[in-house]
């Protein structure tokens, strides 16, 4: 799912990079309200998501596709959001970016963001104009499908330049220079020449690099990368992931890295949040989750990763069945129809709560201590 939306929206100046000062539309009232929505400076994570719920409402039904999701990301760290197709990863990301149209979506919970000056913002309390001033500036996203996010009728240099005009109000010559510098930073050779190219004139890998350049143009504090390399071949994928990690180190930004592939998680993430059918089923530091997964779903995901060293005669262990249709979510544990450890009369009846043993991990399974 990819929104057909501009990253930036109406022209808003970022002023001192702390309080959004709209120059057109919204006016001073919005700026004042923005200032009121920020609380005193302090330490803590760059992003804290607490009990995030997203429902899609129609006249006939309410579909809760994100259900009580919580996690936090510290400065300079990466959290991987993992799960099969349809588990709610993109909807969670779009909710954080304020990109879900409400209605039909209804978003609740808390999304707290701490800016470079240490001030905290409650994203769900900001107006659309205030959120637009954050997007593409202090908070940025690389979308799942780059071609639907790049504008085919503008050169890639102009598209990066536009982000700088909106958020930094730089002069034309400065913007051009900064756009070329950004194309160089994201690994595009002959950047000055490539800045004049249209998206269709570039390879898939180059287009994805342009998307990364647009997202990083204003050096955001938080980057959400939604399956940024899924459509690319493995060599290009590895190069882009390495470049993204270097840029993250340089800029010190926090990153939410969305993927359905647990194989790339160890390469990029400090911690992992595993989602199933809209809920977090397990979370914790990457090494621990990969070495000693506690939830049967995480174990099944890990067992389904192809390994170069594996015995060719051994079939890959696929997870039986599919992610449930949330309009008819299974009773008890949502994973029970596919779980090899399910116990009849227990797992299909009792809803597991999220447990947080005092080791920085969470798990949502009735039987995790026995398994
Ligand atoms: N606008 C919408 N209206 C109704 N349901 C939606 C809407 N957008 C997403 N959904 C549903 O929300 C659920 C989660 O979708 P989401 O796109 O977040 O999955 P995902 O984990 O990102 O999957 P993928 O790996 O395929 O990208 C799916 O069941 C999807 O059909
Ligand atoms: S609660 Fe039961 S069905 Fe659900 S993951 Fe744990 S063992 Fe499997
Ligand atoms: Mg998605």
User: How many C-beta atoms lie closer than 10 Å to residue 24's C-beta?
Assistant: 10
With a cut of 90, say whether residue 20 has pLDDT above it.
no
pLDDT given at position 338: 94
75 DSSP assignment: T
Residues 6+ apart with CB under 8 A from 328: none
Q: Which tens digit of pLDDT belongs to each residue from 40-62?
A: 555 789 999 999 999 998 777 88
The 10s digit of each residue's pLDDT in 173-224 is 999 999 998 898 888 889 999 999 999 998 888 888 888 888 888 889 999 9
pLDDT at 314: 61
- C-beta 178 within 6 A of ligand 2: no
Q: Which residues does ligand 1 sit against, CB inside 6 Å?
A: 1, 56, 63, 65, 83, 85-91, 144, 260, 326
pLDDT at 171 over 70: yes
Q: Which residue's structure tokens are 């504090």?
A: 221
User: Does the Cβ of 342 fall within 6 Å of ligand 2?
Assistant: yes
**Given this model, what pLDDT does residue 318 score?**
80
Pocket test for ligand 2, best of 301, 341, 349 (most atoms within 8 A of CB): 341
Per-residue CA distances from 71 to 51, 88, 184, 247, 339 (Å): 9, 14, 33, 23, 25
Ligand positioned closest to the Cα atom of 88: 1
**Nearest bound ligand to CA 259?**
1
Element (H, E) at 196: none
Span 145-174, average pLDDT: 86
Average pLDDT over residues 143-169: 85
Measured from the Cα of 347, ligand 2's closest atom is 2
Say how many Å lie between the CA of residue 65 and the centre of ligand 1: 7
* CA 358 – ligand 3 centroid, Å: 31
pTM: 0.85
Q: What is the pLDDT of residue 315?
A: 62
Q: Among 145-149, 150-154, 196-200, 255-259, whose mean pLDDT is lowest?
A: 145-149
Tokens 């008890």, residue? Answer: 332
What confidence score (pLDDT) does residue 8 get? 34
Share of the chain above pLDDT 70, in %: 85
Give pLDDT, residue 22: 27
- Reply yes or no on whether the pLDDT at 35 is more than 50: no
Q: How far is the CA of 87 from the centre of ligand 1 (A)?
A: 7
Q: How close is the Cα of 165 to the center of ligand 3, in Å? A: 29
Q: What is the pLDDT of residue 26?
A: 35
Determine the number of helices (DSSP H) and then strands (DSSP E) in the chain: 12, 14
- Per the prediction, the chain carries an average pLDDT of 83
Q: What is the pLDDT of residue 322?
A: 85
Closest atom, ligand 2, to C-alpha of 333:
4
**Residue 313 pLDDT more than 50?**
yes
Instruction: Give the model's confidence band at 12: pLDDT under 50 very low, under 70 low, under 90 confident, else very high.
Output: very low
When pLDDT is averaged across residues 224-253 and rounded to a whole number, the result is: 83
DSSP string, 135-171: BTTTEEEE-S-HHHHS-TTS-HHHHHHHHHHHHH---
Q: What is the pLDDT of residue 16?
A: 26
Q: Whose CA is nearest to atom 5 of ligand 2?
A: 365
Whose tokens are 């637009």? That residue is: 132
Q: From ligand 2's centre to the CA of 346, what distance in Å? A: 9
Measured from the Cα of 368, ligand 2's closest atom is 6
- Rg of the chain's alpha carbons, rounded to an integer? 21
Q: What number does the ligand 1 atom closest to the CA of 325 have?
A: 29
Mutate to test the pocket of ligand 2, among 343, 366, 369, 370 (most ligand atoms within 8 A of CB): 366
Q: What is the pLDDT of residue 316?
A: 64
pLDDT, residue 38, reads 53
Element (H, E) at 28: helix 27-37
- pLDDT of 18: 25
Give, using CA atoms, the residue closest to atom 3 of ligand 2. 336
Name residues with Cβ closer than 5 Å to ligand 3, which is an ion. 90
Q: Which pLDDT tens digit goes with each residue over 88-106? A: 999 999 999 999 988 899 9
347-354: average pLDDT: 96
Q: What is the pLDDT of residue 13?
A: 28
Q: Note the pLDDT tens digit of each residue in 269-295.
A: 999 999 999 999 999 999 999 999 999
User: Which of the two residues, 236 and 183, has the higher pLDDT score?
Assistant: 183
Ligand closest in space to the Cα of 294? 2
Atom of ligand 2 nearest to the CA of 341: 7
């Amino acid at each position: 799912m990819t929104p057909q939306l501009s990253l930036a929206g109406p022209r808003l100046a970022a002023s001192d990079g702390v309080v959004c000062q709209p120059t057109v539309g919204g006016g001073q009232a919005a700026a004042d309200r923005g200032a009121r929505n920020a609380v005193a400076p302090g330490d803590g994570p760059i992003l804290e998501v607490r009990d995030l719920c997203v429902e899609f409402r129609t006249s006939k039904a309410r579909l809760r596709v994100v259900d009580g999701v919580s996690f936090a990301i510290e400065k300079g760290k990466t959290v991987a959001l993992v799960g099969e197709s349809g588990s709610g990863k993109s909807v969670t990301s779009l909710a954080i970016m304020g990109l879900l149209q409400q209605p039909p979506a209804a978003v609740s919970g808390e999304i707290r963001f701490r800016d470079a000056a240490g001030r905290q913002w409650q994203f769900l309390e900001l107006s659309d104009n205030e959120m637009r001033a954050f997007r593409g500036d202090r908070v940025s996203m690389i979308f799942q499908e780059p071609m639907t996010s790049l504008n085919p009728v503008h050169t890639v240099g102009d598209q990066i330049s536009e982000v700088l005009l909106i958020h930094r109000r730089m002069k034309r010559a400065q913007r051009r220079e900064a756009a070329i510098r950004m194309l160089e930073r994201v690994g595009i050779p002959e950047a000055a020449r490539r800045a004049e190219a249209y998206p269709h004139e570039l390879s898939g890998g180059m287009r994805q690099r342009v998307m990364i350049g647009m997202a990083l143009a204003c050096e955001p504090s938080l980057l959400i990368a939604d399956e940024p390399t899924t459509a690319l071949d493995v060599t290009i994928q590895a190069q882009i992931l390495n470049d993204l990690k270097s840029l993250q180190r340089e800029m010190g930004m926090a990153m939410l890295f969305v993927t359905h592939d647990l194989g790339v998680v160890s390469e990029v993430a400090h911690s992992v949040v595993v989602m199933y059918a809209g809920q977090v089923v397990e979370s914790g530091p990457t090494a621990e989750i990969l070495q000693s997964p506690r939830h049967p779903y995480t174990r099944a995901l890990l067992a389904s990763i192809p390994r170069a060293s594996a015995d060719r005669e051994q079939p890959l262990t696929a997870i039986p069945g599919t992610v449930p249709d949330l309009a008819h979510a299974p009773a008890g544990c949502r994973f029970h129809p596919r779980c090899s450890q399910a116990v009849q009369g227990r797992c299909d009846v009792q809803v597991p709560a999220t447990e947080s043993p005092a080791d920085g991990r969470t798990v949502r399974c009735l039987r995790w201590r026995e398994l």
